Structure 1
Amino acid sequence: MRKKLLTLASMLISGAMLAQNGGTIMKKYEDQLPQAGRGNVHVAYQGKSIDQMIYEFMEEQGIPGMTLAIVQAPYIPRVVGYGVTDLKKGNLAAAKTLWPIGPISQGFTAVAIMQLLEKGKLYLNDSIGKYLKDIPDNWKGITILQLLQHSSGIADYRDQKGFDVSADYQPIQLIKTVAHIPLAFEPGTDVKQSATNFLLLTSIIEKAGKMPYHDFVKKYQIDYLGLQQTYFGEDIVKVKQEDVTTTHNVHETFKKDKAYINPSETTTGYIENDSKLVTAPSISPTSLKGFSDIWASAENVSHWDIALAGGVLIAQPENRNMIYKPTTLANGKVVPAMAGWQFYNHKGLMDIKGNAPGHSAFLSRFTDASELVCVTLLANKEGVELTNLARKIAAAFDSSKMGTGANDSQLYTFESQFSVNETMSHIEHTLKTMGIPIFAKFNHGKNAEEVGLKLLPNQVIVFGSPKVGTKLMQENPSISIELPLKISVWEDKNGSVWAAFPQMNMMAAEYNLDGEPVIGKMQELLKTIVVKAASVY
């Protein structure tokens, strides 16, 4: 598997070099190219093409297959498959490959609620007890809006003992598993993501819409937009797929049946276990209803995403704004998240992401009128953080607006949803929870102020494990200049807040420690700390 990916990577790097040279060839006609308006024709970031970035990422993360789709509204100019969707069959990831899109499915549920609002069938401040009778009494006063916000305090049925993502459930069965658990907080005072919230929303949609949730979404979103590669899990059996294991991994049916030309094929999901990829459990169509129950191609996700930009799915701007902006709670607290989406200080930026069994999914939207770029990434390995890669892909279209402003070959950069102070506070809390010693903190902004200078908020925290650091220094004493570990958090001139740390693999190479396994673990640890500190979900 590793050798296959390396071979594919070397082929793509060669192609990437040609693509970059192609940009040079275009300069011959530079005066005929548009200088602004519909995006950048030279799609590379910090010297690397999109293809090169993706294959390096896939190799680093051990991802068998991935599909990328890019929107430059209203176009979808790039849909590309990389690698394979099944290690045994060898099927290629392609434009029409179907992936479980995980928590992105929440977006379809939220749109359905707003469509019913516009039809006058419900109101966001309605108590859910108006529609649902077989729920605990202390849930009945919770509002539809609080379910959308994930501010209900209701426990997540996925966290309960005995939950099996492969099993079939009726909604009432899943509700009963959490009905006895006290609310985590007073509804409307905090935010915590829970699949139970969106399960309840699907039942409300069925009551108000007078049809099954599946049928309502299919009629008013999937069929309405003509999404031919978007399915609910229960409909996947209708997809015509050739069993290539009977023909020794060679496709034959397309020669006789046109339905198998450029087919839509489902993926096999994988998880890493003891440094090996193993097949993930299958996903029941009913176990993640309304939260993670849709399969789609990356191109169809992008098509649906474009429809969100205007009044195609939700007619009134104020209704779109209701679910595509940060949550303001009744107590005045503002949480930069809503209906699964997360929001940033970068104007117009929002994303929705997460895992389905054996898969990782990501959709980001740069909705400001000066950008209008969206990135969809779908991969068949669970637990992959795709945000950093997606940001670099977006920056390939306009690095001055969507880039990090840092050297991303040297630093792992992640935009925070919070202020510098709050992000640093989260990092410190996470380190203490993990039992990792903190050695020092530096507030460069405050230090600048003390000497009569101005500097945007900029802080650094220094921490680490002497046991791990000593082992590295035994191998190469000069690496001591890089230790202990550091995370920097700063605000840039545009108001975005970034958390960053040195790329550990680059550091290891400089000190001839490439093969040291602890380096990879340090990278993942730092990434976990940063992502947790900088994100709501």
Structure 2
Amino acid sequence: MRWNVFIMLGLLMSGTILAQNGGINMKKKYANQLPTGIRGDAQVAYQGKSIDQMIYEFMAEEGIPGMTLAIVQAPYIPRVVGYGTTNIENGDLASIKTLWPIGPISQGYAAVAAMQLYEKGKLELKAPISKYLKEIPTAWKEITVFELMQHSTGIADYRAQEGFDASKTYTPAQLIATVASIPLAFKNGTDVKQSATNFLLLTEVIEATSKMSYNDFVKKNQIDYIGLTETYFGADLPKVKQEEVAVGKVHELFKHDKLYINAAETTVGYQDKGYQLVKVAPLSGSTMKGFSDIWSSAEDVSHWDIALAGSILIAKPENRALIYAPTKLANGKTVPAMAGWQFYKHKGLMDIKGSAPGHSAFLSRFTDASELVCVTLLANKEGVDLTNLARRVAAAFDSGKMGTGTNDDQLYTYESQFSVAETMSRLEQNIKAMNIPIFAKFDHGKNAEEVGLDLLPNQVIVFGAPKVGTKLMQDNPSISIELPLKISVWQDQKGSVWLTFPQLEKMAADYEMQNNPIIEKMQDLLENLVARSSSVY
């Protein structure tokens, strides 16, 4: 959904405005002293917009109350910024120490824990889980530990079962029982489908081999080991020093107790319900173990992310390569995902993302030695895809390498994990599944070949619902030139594959149809189609 909220006031603080108020003269004065081109753009702007401006605009469009951003240019964390509020009712400000549920990013910590036990010789990745877990269904006994990490088991996801409520407390045995009798979706090791049950079972294996609770093992070998002071399991949140402030009141304890100065406070999460933000019951501390059970600050996530780069958490490079590379299945199929991470054609790019109740989380890693930039975004609205925003934020540090190559103000552009042909096939399937008519497909690469010219793969699909488009044309017939809808899928010179479509809300302004609810829904539809068609998870 697209919103206009008070967040836009933050534009007054943007780097664009600061640059207009004297920055040019300083640049001329010190032109021969300031370094350029060493590690990206020190002014952190992309296509004429500062990072602050991009984020405030995005928050306004998506109706996000609060967010924290952290940027890594390894080994530094040069920017951590809080935007908006963590609690609409009280107006508490998002800060660099705000604690957010990091959702499926939690899988990364579980995968590291498993690899640490593997390096200690306590865990066999290719061993069946029945070696470590005795009380499991017969159909699961030959599934391996590594298949749990790959999400290649076919085991049903307990989150999808009737009655599951993330705000309630369950034991692992209770959650496993909800899916124990469901047949495998596919033979283990032959395909990939994300399931929280896989990582619940992985934590059970970790406990059986480490002889410690999963939480204690991760705390000892990751959280405490690298000094993360704002990272907690949900079950440990009661230990966090935060003041309970009634609506209309102000913080007082920091005046008398030093522990409340710049305290690490938790957020309140929200969902969109018919253009209204509705508070969501918080995630239970012990639910979604191993999959979505960690709360952290954006800075701590970035600190942990830097530790992934070398031998600090996983000692051997060949072991790091097992979980930071696409899944290669025994049947020869390769899936560009592993342990919650997804991989792209852009060299060294990987990300891990998703939602927790009332929240959205994103972490991308540009791991190539020429880049080493990572972006963490944590927000307190559920179901927001932060991928496009994070890509533009990364591009602000070096647009030549990490940008989309398109005008992001006019076009919505999203990198695919697949080839042009496979991306187009997935896109077509998703459109048909929604019963939306497809009017035409164009293969520009093939057309170029037929006239003796070379063109990298480039295809366009044209589709739409006449009933919806007609309503727009009834308001302004000239908008017919923009209809039906279209999405382009193309490959760039570096091998990256992109999906692109016009920013409909920007286009609507040309027809004096700003804030038209039909156009807003069409924009959301296209964004969802693009995300689902280009990603494994």
Category of TM-score, reference length = shorter chain: over 0.9
Match of 2:123 in 1: 122
Deviations 1:1-51 (A, max 9, x none): 9775255244334x5410466763334323223333333212100000000
The within-5 A match list for 1:81-92 is 81-92=82-93
SS in 2 for 1:370: coil
Deviation string, structure 1 residues 207-226 (Cα, Å, up to 9, x no partner): 11110000000000000011
Offset at residue 275 of structure 1 (A)? 1.2
Q: Residues 138 and 443 of structure 1: is their aligned pair in 2 closer, same or farther, counting only changes over 3 Å?
A: same
Kindly report which structure 2 residues correspond to 1:342-491, keeping only aligned pairs within 5 A, or say none.
342-491=342-491
Give the whole-Å Cα distance in 2 for the aligned partners of 1:327 and 1:2: 39
**TM-superposed deviation, 1:168:** 1.2
* Mapped contact 2:45–2:397 kept (Cα < 8 A): yes
- State the distance in 2 between where 1:446 and 1:309 align: 41
What is the aligned partner in structure 2 of residue 229 from structure 1? 230
Counterpart-to-counterpart distance in 2, 1:534 and 1:420:
10
The letter of the residue matching 1:142 is: I
Q: 2-side partners of 1:103 and 1:20: how far apart?
A: 40
User: Given residue 80 of structure 1, which amino acid in structure 2 is its aligned partner?
Assistant: V
| Structure 1 residues 162-219: Cα deviation after superposition (integer angstroms, max 9, x where no partner) | 1111111111111110000000001000000000000000000001111000000000
- Cross-structure match for 1:341: 341
> 2 CA distance for matches of 1:68 and 1:27?
31
Q: Matched residues in 1 for 2:226 and 2:292: separation?
A: 20
2:528 and 2:331 map into 1 onto residues whose CA distance is 30
Tell me which residue corresponds to 1:18.
18
- 1:188 and 1:329 in contact (8 A); partners too: yes
Which amino acid is the alignment partner of residue 205 of structure 2? I
What letter is aligned with 1:253?
A: L
Q: Retained in 2: the 8 A contact 1:9–1:56?
A: no
CA separation of 1:88 and 1:8: change in aligned 2, threshold 3 A: same
Cα offset, 1:138, TM superposition: 1.1
- Alpha-carbon spacing, 1:173–1:6, altered in 2? closer, same or farther (3 Å): closer
Residue 230 of structure 1 contacts residue 300 of structure 1 at CA under 8 Å; is this kept in 2? yes
Partner residue of 1:527?
527
* Gap regions ≥5 residues in structure 1: none
Taking the aligned partners of 2:209 and 2:363, their CA distance within structure 1 comes to 29
Q: Which is further off, 34-43 or 521-530?
A: 34-43
Is the CA contact 1:168–1:287 (under 8 Å) kept in the aligned structure 2? yes
Q: Distance in 2 between matches of 1:89 and 1:3?
A: 20
Q: Secondary structure at the match of 1:361?
A: strand
Q: Percent identical across equivalent pairs?
A: 70
Cα distance in 1 for residues equivalent to 2:423 and 2:190: 20
Q: Deviations over 1:455-498 (max 9, x none)?
A: 00000000001111111111111111111000000000000000
Map 1:4-83 onto structure 2 (within 5 A). 5-13=6-14, 16-19=16-19, 24=24, 25-83=26-84
For the 8 Å contact 2:8–2:57, the answer to whether it is kept is no
In structure 2, the gaps of 5 or more residues are none
Kept in 2, the 8 Å contact 1:102–1:361? The answer is yes
2-side partners of 1:186 and 1:524: how far apart?
35
State the alpha-carbon separation in 1 of the partners of residues 16 and 108 from structure 2.
Answer: 34
Farther-moved stretch of structure 1 (3-12 vs 82-91): 3-12
Residues 56/121 of structure 1: CA separation in 2 closer, same or farther (3 Å cut)? same
Q: Are the counterparts in 2 of residues 113 and 205 from structure 1 also a CA contact under 8 Å?
A: yes
Does the aligned pair in 1 maintain the 2:68–2:95 contact within 8 Å? yes
| CA–CA separation in structure 2 for the residues paired with 1:233 and 1:425 | 40
* Paired residue type of 2:195: S
CA distance in 2, matches of 1:488, 1:39: 29
* CA offsets 1:266-323 (integer angstroms, 9 cap, x no match): 0000001121011112211121000000000000000000000111100100011100
Residue in structure 1 matched with residue 216 of structure 2 by the alignment: 215
Counterpart Cα distance in 1 of 2:515 and 2:16:
27
- Report the residue type matching 1:315 in the other structure: A
1:475–1:23: structure 2 CA closer, same or farther, 3 Å change rule? same
In the other structure, the counterpart of 2:164 is 163
CA contact (8 A) 1:359 1:382 kept: yes
Greater Cα shift, 115-124 or 4-13: 4-13
> Are the counterparts in 2 of residues 19 and 49 from structure 1 also a CA contact under 8 Å?
no
* 2:195 matched residue in structure 1: 194
Q: CA 1:3–1:432 in structure 2 vs 1: closer, same or farther (change >3 Å)?
A: closer
State the 1:374 CA deviation: 0.2
CA distance in 2, matches of 1:235, 1:445: 55
Give the match for residue 329 of structure 2: 329
Range with bigger deviation, 66-75 or 512-521 = 512-521
Q: Is the 8 A contact 1:23 1:42 kept in 2?
A: no
Specify the code of the residue in structure 1 equivalent to 2:381. Answer: K
| TM-score (norm: length of structure 1) | 0.98
Residue of structure 2 in register with 1:254 after alignment? 254
Distance in 2 separating the partners of 1:132 and 1:11: 57
2:87 alignment partner, SS class: coil
For 1:300-339, list aligned pairs within 5 A: 300-339=300-339
Partner residue in 1 for 2:135 = 134
Aligned residues of 1:325 and 1:343 also touching (Cα < 8 A): yes
Partners of 1:28 and 1:168 in 2: CA distance: 62
Q: d(CA) in 2 for partners of 1:115 and 1:93?
A: 34
Contact 1:20 1:49 in 2 (8 A): no
**Which amino acid in structure 1 is aligned with residue 267 of structure 2?**
T
Name the CA distance, whole Å, in 2 between partners of 1:117 and 1:530.
Answer: 37
Question: Structure 2 matches for 1:496-511, cutoff 5 A?
Answer: 496-511=496-511
SS of structure 2 residue aligned to 1:225:
coil
Which whole-Å CA distance do the structure 2 matches of 1:266 and 1:338 have between them? 29
Deviations 1:397-450 (A, max 9, x none): 000000000000000000000000000001100111100000000000000000
1:251 maps to amino acid: H
